[in-house]
């Protein structure tokens, strides 16, 4: 008998969850959570959004939700599609969600061997939605990002598995985070109005970057460590 699909692995479930939220997960809760524990440099494989039409589309949505109290937009350099979170870079013996410098070198080589063999693909910007932590835009890609996420888990054993990985992975572009619950109702109303506009432009994914994300109370800042071209 086939295992039924996990209902949490859908954009519809994510939207329903946000629509019924009583409270958001705020910036200070995220940065001071047990997950971060004072660590700053988080590694990830992702697609940095460079397409001009897509950036204009995102900017229009950001300008609409920014006036809502308690919404803090991410700056343009942060707009991205995560492929696979890797973990925090540490000097000492790494824990379950950490990697050492030596392991990072091995991950870079293994990721290159995997990603350079994968074909480029097209994706479309879907409707706006939100998780408890962020406002985001859905990515419609016929499952390609989710497949890459699963392939990296299978092919690069040093990369840790997170609860959001694999069959439940939802590709998206985060565009804002939350600093207050004061205007939760107006926020839901604003996002709903934008969601009714439907999907946006398409983009070609032909490169995946390995980055270090420096976490802080301000907007995260990326440093590109290596870029992997997909097969055209």
Q: Where are the domains of the chain?
A: 7-229
Whole-model pTM: value is 0.92
Q: What is the b/e burial string over 69-83, where b = at least 16 CB atoms within 10 angstroms of the residue's CB?
A: ebbbbbeeebbbbbb
pLDDT tens-place string over residues 174-215: 999 999 999 999 999 999 999 999 999 999 999 999 999 887
For residue 215, the Cα-to-chain-centroid distance in whole angstroms is 14
Band the pLDDT of 40: cuts 50, 70, 90. confident
| Whether 13 contacts 168, CB under 8 Å | no
pLDDT tens-place string over residues 7-19: 457 999 999 999 9
For residue 154, the Cα-to-chain-centroid distance in whole angstroms is 20
End-to-end CA distance of the chain: 38
Band the pLDDT of 5: cuts 50, 70, 90. very low
| Percent of residues, the chain, with pLDDT higher than 70 | 92
State the average pLDDT over residues 21-37. Answer: 79
Three-state secondary structure call for residue 203: strand
| Whether 71 contacts 82, CB under 8 Å | no
Q: How distant, in Å, are the alpha carbons of 9, 29, 164, 171 from that of 6?
A: 6, 27, 12, 16
* DSSP of 33-72: STTTTT--EEEEEEEE---HHHHHHHHHHHHHHTTSTTEE
C-alpha closest to that of 84 among 5, 183, 158: 158
Distance between CA atoms of 41 and 107, rounded to whole angstroms? 16
State the average pLDDT over residues 110-118. Answer: 97
Q: Which CATH architecture has domain 7-229?
A: Alpha-Beta Complex (3.90)
Question: Does the pLDDT value for residue 34 go beyond 70?
Answer: no
What are the DSSP E strand ranges found in 108-165? Answer: 121-130, 134-140
By DSSP bridging, strand 80-89 and strand 98-99 are parallel
Question: Does the pLDDT value for residue 41 go beyond 80?
Answer: yes
Band the pLDDT of 219: cuts 50, 70, 90. low
């Amino acid at each position: 008998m086939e295992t039924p699909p996990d209902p949490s692995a859908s954009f519809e479930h994510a939207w329903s969850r946000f629509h019924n939220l009583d409270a958001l997960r705020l910036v200070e809760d995220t940065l001071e959570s047990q997950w971060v524990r004072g660590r700053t440099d988080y590694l990830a494989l992702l697609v940095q959004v460079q397409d001009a039409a897509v950036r204009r589309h995102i900017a229009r949505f950001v300008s609409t939700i920014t006036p809502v109290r308690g919404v803090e937009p991410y700056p343009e350099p942060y707009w991205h599609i995560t492929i696979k979170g890797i973990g925090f870079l540490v000097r000492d013996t790494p824990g379950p969600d950490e990697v050492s410098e030596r392991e990072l070198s091995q991950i870079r080589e293994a990721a290159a061997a995997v990603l350079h063999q994968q074909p480029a693909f097209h994706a479309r910007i879907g409707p706006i939605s939100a998780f408890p932590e962020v406002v985001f835009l859905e990515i419609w890609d016929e499952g390609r990002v989710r497949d890459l996420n699963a392939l990296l888990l299978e092919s690069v054993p040093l990369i840790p598995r997170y609860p959001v990985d694999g069959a439940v992975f939802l590709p998206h572009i985060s565009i804002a985070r939350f600093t207050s619950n004061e205007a939760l109702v107006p926020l839901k109303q604003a996002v709903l109005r934008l969601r009714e506009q439907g999907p946006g432009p398409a983009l070609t994914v032909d490169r995946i970057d390995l980055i270090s994300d420096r976490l802080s109370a301000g907007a995260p800042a990326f440093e590109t460590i290596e870029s992997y071209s997909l097969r055209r």
